[in-house]
Structure 1
Amino acid sequence: MPVNPLVNPLVVRACAVWVELARVPVSFAPPGGVTVVVSPRSGLCPVGWVGVVALGGSAVVTAPSEAAALVVRAALGALPVEAVVDGVSVREVLPVAQVLGPAALAYVSRSGFRPVEAAGALGVERLSAAHPDVRGLERAAGPEDAGEAALDEMTSPVFAVRDGRGRVIAAAGYEAWPGRAAHVGVLTAPEARGRGLARVTGSAAVAHALGAGLLPQWRARPPASRRVAAALGFEELGAQLSIELA
């Protein structure tokens, strides 16, 4: 995972996003370093949890209190950077109640983007995030997948594909994040998966974000989602982990 931020501008921009989300003054250390700070309002994790983001071979960690920071600093400071975003390794050194992740963090530049066009009679249309047909797709996909995609939180248009009966079967968009990032979400109806529709709709969302001068971010755990990101030219530069201490 180590990537020298001095030679990869994507790492520099990605680090700026998470530094702003930390909501306290912090910076990523040189490769190999783990920086732990106290931030009760951190955007790296749920409130009251410990948030870990590793990028470019170093990591930033936010803790909800000074007492938690002392424990986390002692435990994670002894681990290599790759291990601080590994749930198994973290459980070996910290009293953990729950873990969310790890999720891979991937980014793409304008020059690295590989767009995918709709094939055949398929067309991509723009809908609002509140459109009832988008809600219908979420119901079809189920609460877990719909929650992961979070189409209802999109600040961009939602780029959608319909089937022959007019139902939205795939959609993607992005939420504008601090640091001029575009957090991309993609959702496909279960019966329509495996047809490349996530690439088509995701490509439209990424193109829109790049056109607005934003940094597209793809955060994912499932291998299928990570493969979609890779097909569009995203580079996996790090990972995110959230920890609830016991």
Structure 2
Amino acid sequence: MKTSIGARIPGVALLLAAMLFCVFPIVSMLSAALQPQGTIPEGISWPSHPHWENFAAAFTAVNFVNLLSSSAIYVFGVVPVAVLISTMAGYAIAQLRIPGGRIFYVLLLIGLTLPVEVIVIPLYYQIRGMGLLDSYFALILPLIGINMPFAVFWMRAHFAGIPGELSEAANMDGAGPWTAFTRIQLPLAIPAVASLSLLLFLSTWNQFLLAIVLVRDPDKRTASVALQSFVGKYGSDLVLLNAGALLIMVPTIVVFLVLQRHFVRALLQGSVKG
């Protein structure tokens, strides 16, 4: 049965409103980034002579090359490890019914309610006591632990929706838990793994608070911290600030466009049964 045009109008209007809500800040930032340096942008006004060189100035002002490389190190140090551990943990809790699995899962859920700001000071002294302060591991290890509750929750929700008959059939064919995991369960979990990787990438790439507290070397901080360089004591260079923010957003937009298909599949997974 076809849907009438009148019934589709509210959905289309809501979609357009959501699109404008997302695009408007980017357009505003772009118009501000193209204004002459030293000016104060007001509203959205496309300059008659756009200053595209502001992006090059913002790129060189804070040594973006080192910051982008350090951010990449954090991403490749956090995302693969967190995804691997959370995928195996989610499979074990949902499919293997390990002893104490529910208690462990409840403890992880409690971790979701703990704000990061509460543990910043104890985490600083712990990292300093381990001799890791001002190193890449000072940020990699805490980020893996902080992201673990949500990551396990995400993967456990996926594996809980997989019929248990698949694992039982694999056991009848002589496949152990590891074989069933790698040959059957993991291929089915590609959308969930890809979407989780995207979320962890965004969380790591945009990390600001822990990068300032645990890493004092400016060249070892994340790219998001570079925006602090455009904020002075008595004023801010709003033009370069917007240009720098757009530069930081480029990798996240590219990664999202690459993984958006898997992200949508993971969100819709389980919405249709049968």
More strand by share: 1
TM-score (norm 2): 0.27
Which structure is higher in RCO with an 8 Å CA cutoff and minimum separation 6?
2
Indicate the structure (1 or 2) with the bigger Cα radius of gyration. 2
Greater fraction of residues in helix: 2
